[in-house]
Each structure stands twice: as structure tokens, then as C-alpha cells.
Amino acid sequence: MLALGKLLELTLTGREPAQKTQLTVDGARLRWLAEGALEVCPFEARDNGMDVLLSAGIHGNETAPIELLDRLIHAIARGELKPRARILFLFGNPGAMRTGARYVEEDLNRLFNGRHASSCGPEALRACELEHLAETFFKAPERTRLHFDLHTAMRGSKIEQFALYPYKEGRKHSRDQLARLRAAGMEAVLLQNKPSIVFSAFTYDQLGAEAFTLELGKARPFGHNDGVNVERLELRLRQIIEGTEPSLEGASLDGLQIFSVAREVIKHSDAFLLHLPADIENFSELPKGYLLAQDTPKTRWVIEEEGARIIFPNPMVKNGLRAGIIIKPVKATAFA
């Protein structure tokens, strides 16, 4: 196997490769760009015009997606997986990956779309670097752009594998992309309703990619991910890389649950209270009239939506950040 196929090993040990560029037996070029960043370019005659950014480890303790990308890189470096698309592999937060922590100083996935400019520390620097790497990678015009940012969640979920679809004013969510997500094993998709500061929102909003945050199960340490089944996602990624993905046109959305954001719960002060059990699962249903949270005097979140559910509840976030999202179901027929 080519030495650059050991990107994860290089990243976890903090080493630079002696050789920054290598070629596979079928002429694909592997190029080390920065810590945790590997560009793969197919032999020119095989290039199908697709640019695919695959990122994981934005939170350093979410190891199943990191191991998935490691398997894909190994397969390319051995010549077993023969790319027709350009691929940029990114391990997002090397410092946190090395310690098995979610982050070093602050949540990296809250520092994109320029938010890093108002912060400092290792995550702010890394967010700026990741934006630059993505911008450079997606620079070529008239190519198809796709970004999957792979995660696992801090808590259990009633719907284990789901995607977050970013929002941009004037840009419609794509039925074909929903079909791709369903084929990749996603059981649900959450349609965002406003711009965001996460990595996939940056590539969607600023770089014109079809971009998604994928939640694949619960976060576990390296080597303990038998309970995270990514077989369907891994198969779809291999097909995308090799240019053998089945047509998305008219593909079924059967079984895919679609939700939209009803409201975000923002923590304004240290007085914030979230009236949920600490171990509540994502996608838990909330009855109408339920007092979900309260904060400064007269600030209350009471459930008004029919079929409301909660995802990402976290009362420990910093003041000013999101402490949970109230979501509601959307009929898939809206995308027929």
C-alpha cells in the first residue's frame, strides 16, 4: 500500500509524510495537502467531472466515520478502489482526535461561515484552514460538487442514521439528493430553515456544493464501532468514487422520514433550564403544551407544533448557542 494511504496513522501521530505525492497503479494521484488532508485525483482520462469532499473527525471522539474514511483511503492506495471522481479527504480536528475528545478548546463545528474570525485558539485556526482547503478544492468551474460531513451523536437516537440538509435563500432542496441519502442508509432528513455555522452549511452556502451533515449512530472510541452499521453508506461512497452510482432520477423515497426545523432553543443565560431527562434520545416526541425550556424572566419554550420532536438537546452549551432543535414532520409527497 502507498504510504499516503496511512493518512489516519500520520494524523494521529502528528507526522508529515516524507513523500507528499504518490501515484496508484492505475494512475490516480494522491497528494498530502496539510495535516489530515489528502487530495485524490483520477487519471485524467478517467475523470468524470465530479468533486467529492468527505470529512470526518470534526469532533475528535466520533470515530466510526473516521474509520470509514480510513478504509476508503486504504482501498484507493492499494489500487482496489479506482476513482473516477476527484476526492478530498479531511480529518477535521487532529488535536481532538489524538486525545479522544470532542474538541480541544471549543466546538469546531460552530466556527464556519466566517465565525472563526471572532474567535481564537486551535479550533478557530483549523476552521479557517478547512474553509480554505474546501474553497481551493471546489475552485474548478462546471463540475459537480458533493460534500458529506460524517458524524456520530453524543446521545442515543430513536432514528439512528439521519442527515441535516443545509439552507440557502432561493435554493431548493433536491429530490435527487434525498434519494441519494435514502440509498446511503439515511432513515430521516432534517431540512434546515436558515443559514448555519457548521461545515456542511459553509460548502453548501458559499461553495455551491450539495452538502450534508450525516449522523451515523452514537460516538464510541476507536475500535469499538461494531454497533455503528455504515455498510449502505460505504457502498454508496464507493460507487460515487468509482462513478458507478445508480441513477438518482425517479429513485424511491419510500421509508425516508422528512422533518423541518420548527424552532431553535437558544440558551441566553446561566439561568437556562431544559426540562428533559439527561438521557433523552434524539427524535423523542414532545406533547403539545409541554414546557420544554425556560431562561431569563418571561423566556419560555412551550410546544405548540403537532408531532413535534427534539434533537440535539444540550443545556451545557455556551450562552448564545443552540441548546436544542424542535422539529416537525414534512410529507415526502412534497418532493414528488
- Enzyme catalytic residues: 215
Does the annotation flag 268 for ligand binding?
Answer: no
Residue 142, sorted as left (phi over 0), alpha (psi -120 to 50) or beta, turns out to be left
Helix, strand, coil fractions of the chain, as percent rounded to 5: 25, 25, 45
Nearest to 259 by CA among 169, 148, 183, 158: 158
DSSP strands (E only) in the chain = 21-23, 29-34, 37-41, 50-56, 86-91, 144-153, 162-165, 188-191, 210-218, 257-266, 273-274, 284-285, 291-294, 300-302, 309-311, 322-330
As a whole number of angstroms, the distance between CA 59 and CA 106 comes to 10
Does the annotation flag 151 for ligand binding?
Answer: yes
Does the annotation flag 234 for ligand binding?
Answer: no
Please state the residue numbers annotated as binding site for Zn(2+). 59, 62, 151
Please state the residue numbers annotated as binding site. 59, 62, 151
